[in-house]
Amino acid sequence: MNQPPGATQTTLDDAAELFRNARRVVVLTGAGISTSSGIPDFRSEGTGLWSSDEPMEVASLGTFRTYPEKFFDWFRPLAGQIFNALPNPAHTALAMLESADRKFTIVTQNIDGLHQKAGSKHVIEMHGTLNTLSCTSCYQKFEAGDFLHSFIEHGTIPLCKNCNGTLKPNVILFGEQLPQAAWLEAQNAARQCDLMVVAGSSLEVLPVAGLPVQAVDRGAHLIVLNNTPTYINIRADIVIMDDVAETLPAIAKRAIDG
The catalytic residues are: 127
Going by DSSP bridges, is the β-strand pair 123-125/25-29 parallel, antiparallel, or unpaired? unpaired
Quick one: DSSP state of residue 174? B
Give strand pairing partners of 122. none
In total, the chain counts a number of residues equal to 258
Give strand pairing partners of 171. 128
Question: How crowded is the C-beta side of 42, counted as CA atoms within 13 Å?
Answer: 14
Please state the three-class secondary structure of 151-166 as a single string: HHHHCCCCECCCCCCE
What backbone phi and psi angles, to 5 degrees, belong to 223? -115, 130
Radius of gyration of the chain (CA): 19
Q: Number of H helices and number of E strands within the chain?
A: 10, 9
Nearest one of 221, 249, 242, 200 to 97, comparing CA atoms: 249
Query: Is 252:225 a contact under the CB 8 Å cutoff?
Result: no
